[in-house]
Amino acid sequence: MSWLGREAVPQVEHARAFRALVATECIVLPGVWDGLSALLARAAGFRALYLSGAAYTASRGLPDLGLIGIEEVVERAREIVRASELPLIVDIDTGYGGVLNAARAARELVEARVAGVQIEDQQQPKKCGHLSAKLLAPPEELEQKVRAIKQVAPQLYVIARTDAFEQEGIEGVVARARRYLAAGADAIFPEALPSEEAFRDVAAALPGVTLLANLTEFGRTPALAAAQVAEWGYRIALFPVSALRVAAKAMERLYRTLAAEGTSRSLVAEMQTRAELYELLGYFDYEEFDATLARSTLPEWQG
């Protein structure tokens, strides 16, 4: 069935589905940045998605330095939910300003039918969590934002991220986590933990708390698997930019090959075929929806 004829899942159902997933297992949460990547993730069997601020800004040709605004993020989140009809967690950085801005972001994202948001305790200008010299905000700032989000959108799943490890160590991470939980956060995201010991220490200090492990590549965190962090008590294993990195490398190779050889023949075997793309998009379902369109046939390409 095409998107045009499919019934939209209410936001509250998306949030409920995400809560149920996290309650029953450690879920692998893949990062997506548009409708096509969301469809590919759904086809691979994922049951929830994550709109990464880093991946989205990179797709706009921008660095992850807080350069995008709420309107852009809401538009992209709406696209991803519409395409996939899966629970989506949206990275909203620091909430795009103060308490009122964070509350507005929450309300608009509820209207876009997202399951939840992730919000962090950096100050502007914010940085990627795995870089040095981040500006850490006082914990009361994120406390107030979490309370405001829960007041205007109580059904929204809220993941509170703390970047405190670099400056305050495990003690700071745990102290801030407890404050954010008391303010209403549903889960805690301790960013840029540098070792297995750090992951274990956070989990031991916060028993029973839903914890997210960010397993992004090329950062401060070692290469870990979801099964490992699950053993330590984490319920969400996040891979926020992995798909974008693979896609960007593949596109780089194609463009360099095309520039050098003037043909794409050597890479055809690595491409998604026309038939595969049409199947993913439900192309023929759209044709069936509009009786004025003649049924298309796929060309027989001599590659």
Spatial distance between the Cα atoms of 58 and 63, rounded to a whole number of angstroms: 6
Structure confidence at residue 111 as a pLDDT band (50, 70, 90): very high
Residue-wise pLDDT for 237-288, tens only, equals: 999 999 999 999 999 999 999 999 999 999 999 999 999 999 999 988 887 8
Torsion angle of the four alpha carbons 92, 74, 86, 10, in this order, in degrees rounded to the nearest 10: 110
Cβ atoms of 31 and 244 within 8 Å: the answer is yes
Give 240: exposed, middle or buried? Use CB within 10 Å, 0-12, 13-18, 19+. buried
Average pLDDT, integer, range 85-92: 98
Give the model's pLDDT for residue 71. Answer: 95
186 and 256 co-located in one domain = no
Q: Find the CATH number of the domain harbouring 94.
A: 3.20.20.60
Q: What is the pLDDT of residues 262-271, one digit of tens each?
A: 999 999 999 9
Residues 168 and 268 in one domain: no
Residue type, 291: A
298 CB neighbour count, 10 Å cutoff:
11
- Whole-number pLDDT of residue 123: 85
Contacts of 20 (CB under 8 A, 6+ apart): none
Residues 9, 50 within the same domain: yes
- Main-chain phi, psi angles of 126, to 5 degrees: -75, 160
For residues 207 and 282, membership in a common domain is answered with: no
**What is the chain's mean pLDDT, rounded?**
93
- Is residue 228 domain-shared with residue 208, that is, in the same domain? yes
Give dist(CA 78, CA 170) in Å, integer: 36
What single letter denotes the amino acid at residue 11? Q
107 plus 13 within the same structural domain: yes
Contact 241, 56 (CB under 8 A): no
Whether residue 226 sits in one domain with residue 150: yes
List all residues 6 or more positions away from 83 whose beta carbon is below 8 Å from its beta carbon. 3, 35, 36, 38, 39
Its pTM stands at 0.94
Q: What is the mean pLDDT of residues 48-76?
A: 94
- Cβ atoms < 10 Å from Cβ of 224: 18
Q: What is the pLDDT of residue 1?
A: 60
Confidence tier at 143 by pLDDT (50, 70, 90): very high
Q: Which domain holds residue 233?
A: 3-243
Q: What are phi and psi of 15, to 5 degrees?
A: -65, -40
The pLDDT of residue 291 = 67
Give per-residue pLDDT as tens, 37-58. Answer: 999 999 999 999 999 999 999 9
Structure tokens at 288: 């069936």
128 and 262 in a single domain? The answer is no
Amino acid identity at 22? V
> At how many degrees (to 10) do helices 165-183 and 139-152 cross?
30
Q: State how far Cα 284 lies from the chain centre.
A: 29
